[in-house]
């Protein structure tokens, strides 16, 4: 097993330092932390995960299914009747988990983002929305709708706010004390601002750095965490749902959540062939597509096809490779173009993976 001074870890460190952005990198190999390093920040600095947040709300839904409080093939409207309007009455929970409900955006990306700090407005918009694609027909990445549909479902089934359910069912039992869905006001002094230079990046910076956004409950985007916590979450998934003697999910539930639901299909929103599961992106080549990650995706060209994780706007990334028994979290505050960000993430991932080949 490599130690923290391994040559390729040095290459990963160099790639991260070269960027000049605050960052954290945590690597767990076969249950042991082999690297936990900060770059221009503190070990307890909290990063905005963007879409690397999505697996947490997906895991909550899988946990409710594990307990029999819902079934993945239930229609969403069976638990949330107001959702069943406008051709959405037959959309299933599984289709949402797989990004196949036909609702990648609700009113357009700009309007969805403008309303994302208002839970009630976002939910009402979903209730009256009409699918952009026939439900179940194609994968189309659910940018913000993913979290609001699954989050409202969790609240309808449990009768409790999704933030509280996440804390009581996953974060608390796993001892992840530096992970929050919506940054508490008392932790604001620990947040890492995002920063970029281009027009699109500056607009994102202005939006995301607002306290109203960082503190809002946006399950598809607004988890704030440390790399240590995120890597430990993925280690728990590698270990069949258990961490430090505490079990939060059954191994068969994790197998369900990480089994491919899309393989070779082009995602109709991203215009890329993404390998989706029911809550995660999966490793594996994106043959013929070099726009993001050099044709491999942010988890790297060396990632096994069983690797699962989630990229967050090419700013933050968490993943686990079951074949190598490696879990990684790489969190930054660096906003760049998606193509440049994905290439960087892929390079860091491959530098790490080469230590375990």
Instruction: Flag whether the pTM goes above 0.75.
Output: yes
What value does the mean pLDDT take over residues 295-299? 81
Question: What local confidence, expressed as pLDDT, does residue 55 receive?
Answer: 98
- pLDDT of 290 > 80? The answer is no
Higher-confidence residue of 271 and 290: namely 271
Q: In this predicted structure, what is the pLDDT of residue 8?
A: 62
pLDDT digits (tens, 9 = 90+) for 194-237: 999 899 999 999 999 999 999 999 999 999 999 999 999 999 99
Q: Is the pLDDT of residue 275 over 80?
A: yes
Read off the pLDDT of residues 55-64 as tens digits, 9 standing for 90 and up.
999 999 999 9
- The yes-or-no verdict on residue 3 having pLDDT over 60 is no
Please tell me the least confidently modeled range out of 19-33, 41-55, 284-298.
284-298
The pLDDT tens digits for 70-83 are 999 999 999 999 99
Per-residue 3-state assignment (H helix, E strand, C coil) for the chain: CCCCCCHHHHHHHHHHHHHCCCEEEEEEECCEEEEEEEECCCCCCEEECHHHHHHHHHHHHHHHHHCCCCCCCCEHHHHCHHHCCCCCCCCEHHHHHCCCCCCCCCCCHHHHHHHCCCHHHHHHHHHHCCCCCCCCCCCCCCCCHHHHHHHHHHHHHHCCCHHHHHHHHHHHHHCCCCEEECCCHHHHHHECCCEECCHHHHHHHHHHCCHHHHCCCCCCCCEEECHHHHHHHHHHHHCCCEECCEECCCHHHHHHHCCCCECCCCECCCCECCCECCCCEECCCCCCCCCCHHHCCCCCCCCCCCCEEEEECCCEEEEEECCCCEEEEEEECEECCHHHHHHHHHHHHHHHHHHHC
> Is residue 288 very low, low, confident or very high in pLDDT (cuts 50, 70, 90)?
very low
Give tens-digit pLDDT for 108-133: 999 999 999 999 999 999 999 999 99
The pLDDT of residue 292: 47
- Asked if the model's pLDDT at residue 285 lies above 70, the reply is no
């Amino acid at each position: 097993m490599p130690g923290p001074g391994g040559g390729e870890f040095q290459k990963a460190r160099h790639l991260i330092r070269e960027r000049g952005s605050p960052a954290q990198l945590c690597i767990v190999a076969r249950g042991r932390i082999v690297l936990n390093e900060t770059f221009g920040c503190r070990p307890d600095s909290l990063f905005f995960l963007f879409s690397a947040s999505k697996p947490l709300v997906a895991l909550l839904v899988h946990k409710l299914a594990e307990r029999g409080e819902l079934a993945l093939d239930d229609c969403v409207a069976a638990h949330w009747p107001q959702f069943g309007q406008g051709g959405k009455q037959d959309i299933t929970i599984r289709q949402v988990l797989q990004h196949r409900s036909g609702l990648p955006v609700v009113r357009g990306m700009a309007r969805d983002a403008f309303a994302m700090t208002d839970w009630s407005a976002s939910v009402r918009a979903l209730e009256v929305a009409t699918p952009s694609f026939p439900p179940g027909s194609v994968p189309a990445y659910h940018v913000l709708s993913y979290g609001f549909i699954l989050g409202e479902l969790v609240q309808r089934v449990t009768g409790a706010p999704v933030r509280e359910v996440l804390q009581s069912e996953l974060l608390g039992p796993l001892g992840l004390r530096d992970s929050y869905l919506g940054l508490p006001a008392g932790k604001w002094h620990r947040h890492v601002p995002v920063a970029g230079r281009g027009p699109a990046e500056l607009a994102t910076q202005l939006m995301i750095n607002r306290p109203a956004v960082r503190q809002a409950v946006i399950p598809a985007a607004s988890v704030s965490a440390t790399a240590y916590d995120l890597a430990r979450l993925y280690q728990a998934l590698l270990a069949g749902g258990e961490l430090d003697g505490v079990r939060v999910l059954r191994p068969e539930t994790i197998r369900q959540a990480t089994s491919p639901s899309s393989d070779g299909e082009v995602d109709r929103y991203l215009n890329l062939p993404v390998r989706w599961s029911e809550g995660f992106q999966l490793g594996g080549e994106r043959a013929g597509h070099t726009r993001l990650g050099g044709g491999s995706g942010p988890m790297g060209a060396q990632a096994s096809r069983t690797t699962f994780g989630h990229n967050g706007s090419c700013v933050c990334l968490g993943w686990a490779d079951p074949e190598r028994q490696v879990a990684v979290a790489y969190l930054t505050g660096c906003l760049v173009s998606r193509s440049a960000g994905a290439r960087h993430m892929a390079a860091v991932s491959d530098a790490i993976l080469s230590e375990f080949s």
